[in-house]
Amino acid sequence: MIRNRPVAVAVLLLAALTALLAVLLHGNARGPGLLAGYAGAWTLFAAAVVVLRRVPGRSVLPLLVAGAIAVTATGLTAAPATSTDSYRYAWDGRVQAAGVSPYDHAPADPGLAGLRDGWLFPDAAACARNETDLAPLDDGLCTRINRPAVHTVYPPTAEAWFLLVHALSPDGVRHKALQLAAALLALAVTGLLVVVVRRRRSDLRKAALWAWCPAVPVEAVNNAHVDVLAVLFSVAALAVVARHRATGGVLLGLAVATKMLPALLVPGALSGERRPRGILAVFVPVIVTVGALYLPYVLLSQGSVLGYLGGYAQEEGYDDAGASGRYALLRLVLPDAWAMPAVALAMMVVALAVWRRGDPERPWRGALVTTGTAFLLLTPGYSWYALLLVALVALDGRWEWLGVALAGATAYLAVPLAGQGAGTTAYGIAAAAVCAGWWARRRPDHPAPDPGRPGTVDQPGTGLVQGRRWPSSASRREQAVTAPTAQPGPAVDGASGTPRSVRPWSASRTRGPTPY
């Protein structure tokens, strides 16, 4: 029997979230039902996170881990529900195992017919049923792989991951191997977040923003998107880059070579670093790592290793602001022709601000600003891209940025039903939530965002250190050696300089958990 009321409420909310996600994925919901169910899952997630703030400290970690396992496991209960990308992953792994470069041959290539099976390439009877997840081929048959006539778009770390999962999978396991591998990665991200947060003596509850988020079981596990591997490398890179520049650069290079999106983290990784040597210590390992990973595919492939990247960018409208839902918020106030230059200028300004004034001890804060800003400017229509954003929110604790991730899911699920206006509205609401969070954190009475770093002067909500450059590690060590030993005495008010009484530690505990 659970005696603590907040723990009991949190358990009930997590049980409801787990049940709803399982029904949602296993029930093959479509259209409005899927959208409503996903909205309900996010509501339960938000309620569980709020209740977690009142859970006693000794119960947080067991509840966090148990909830993470339960929520993550729901993604394993059904075949991919909202995306067919994992079928391409399985095909690319199979093709590589046969000694063929996925950058040279598309799945529809007749020369690879010997690698086909009844799972990825159903028989004529299944094709005749015109199922929505099947793509037609020129020979009258069909495949579960989307865009079967084009080469792969995935970078080399992702391709190596597909090959590894294929090599370790028993015959006939189908989508389960990729889902199980993705579930392990998602739980590894949770574990890494716990380690990082505890090492900083910060609030462990922040890790629940990833561990319990519905996007994780749906996009990272059920749909098995390779983005979760990029998230793991990204979190690891940001966790070590302040102390180990080269190691952080290598990990960031692995992330970029998994999915290009983590390139947005580079300004955050360089937060506050002005020395050319320090900048190169990150940049060079990133570039060398990406180049080294691409090299085997360059040597083995006859064509370009960029695959369908250019065609994908064109298909999604990133090269033509008036052709799709990209740049939706900017196009509300600017002519279509100005959208792309405005994005480039805005991202340059944000990246420079994060680099020059960011906190090197918390590089994820600047990374969250650059990544979230890019999402609001580009307004992507795929919900799994935001897995990186969710992990950054869990590192930093600025939960208002989760609205951007939810906006991406809304754009993906609602636009086919209600038109592009639904996605634009969702991103507009998310932008308003971010601005509201930034404004609220500017209030003088707002508590320090991270108790693990006393004395930090933040510019709330921006990820920047206000008014001065953060001192380097060497200068901090020098100050620690030369600083005189403090003499005991009464506490002094920082504003007036007059002595003030010191409240006992036990009294401060009555206010409940520190907000994050």
pLDDT at 453 over 70: no
The overall longest dimension of the chain from CA atoms, in Å, is 86
Question: Predicted confidence band at 446 (pLDDT cuts at 50, 70, 90)?
Answer: low
Report the alpha-carbon distance of residue 296 to residue 139 in Å, rounded.
33
Question: Predicted confidence band at 29 (pLDDT cuts at 50, 70, 90)?
Answer: low
Mean pLDDT of 178-204: 97
Query: For residues 357 and 272, is the Cβ–Cβ distance under 8 A?
Result: yes
Which DSSP letter does residue 484 get? P
Query: For residues 403 and 434, is the Cβ–Cβ distance under 8 A?
Result: yes
Question: Predicted confidence band at 207 (pLDDT cuts at 50, 70, 90)?
Answer: very high
For 391, what's the count of Cα atoms within 13 Å in the CB-facing half-sphere? 35
Six token digits for residue 26:
């296993």
The per-residue pLDDT for range 129-168, each reduced to its tens digit, is 877 789 999 888 899 999 999 999 999 999 999 999 999 9
Report the alpha-carbon distance of residue 210 to residue 214 in Å, rounded.
9
Judged by DSSP in three states, 143 sits in: strand
- pTM attached to this predicted model: 0.85
Question: Predicted confidence band at 283 (pLDDT cuts at 50, 70, 90)?
Answer: very high
Report the alpha-carbon distance of residue 246 to residue 278 in Å, rounded.
9
Question: Predicted confidence band at 302 (pLDDT cuts at 50, 70, 90)?
Answer: confident
pLDDT of residue 445: 62
Lowest mean pLDDT among 198-202, 339-343, 383-387, 457-461: 457-461
Mean pLDDT of 36-42: 95
Which DSSP letter does residue 54 get? T
Query: For residues 108 and 137, is the Cβ–Cβ distance under 8 A?
Result: yes
pLDDT of residue 505: 35
Handedness of CA 505, 509, 511, 512 (dihedral sign): positive
Phi, psi (5° rounding) for residue 217?
-65, -30
Give the CA distances from residue 176 to residues 165, 166, 223, 226, 514, in Å, rounded to whole numbers and listed in that order.
10, 11, 10, 14, 40
